[in-house]
Amino acid sequence: MNLNQVTLPVVDIDKANAFYLLMGFTQIVKTEHYSRFECPNGASFSLLLTDEYANNAATLYFESDNLESWINTLKSKGIKFNTALTKQRYLWSEASLEDPSGNKIKLYYAGENRLNPPWRVNITHE
């Protein structure tokens, strides 16, 4: 099975649409209360209009082979980051930010370590 998509709550769908377009995603659905964006690899995520700012612990991760360049481009467009690009102990490089509704986002590069870290296990249901 594969993950289909993740839906994020947003309080201002027009502002959220503009933010994700600025980040470089392609918008494939647009209504007054719902939007969907496609990633370059074909995965998608959506936005759902809500009455309150996000108050969740979920973090959305977007990977890029050209992470540093992507971050610099976004900064030049006025997007603010909460953390600088940092090499993590789990072997990923990442920087964090939030969308206009407070949803947590991490831009990262993991390469082979995303699915094959040195500590990988293979546990399946029998």
Domain assignment of residue 119, yes or no: no
- What is the separation of C-alpha 122 from the centre of its chain, rounded to a whole number of angstroms? 26
pLDDT of the residue at 58: 87
Domain assignment of residue 60, yes or no: yes
pLDDT of the residue at 77: 96
Of residues 57 and 85, more confidence is placed in 85
Domain assignment of residue 120, yes or no: no
For residue 56, pLDDT over 90 is answered with no
Domain assignment of residue 122, yes or no: no
How many angstroms separate the CA atoms of 99 and 74, rounded? 13
E runs forming strands in the chain? 5-10, 26-30, 34-38, 44-49, 59-63, 86-87, 93-98, 104-109
> Which range of residues forms the domain containing residue 61?
5-114
pLDDT digits (tens, 9 = 90+) for 1-17: 677 889 999 999 999 99
Task: Indicate the range of 10-14, 51-55, 105-109, 113-117 predicted with least confidence.
Answer: 51-55
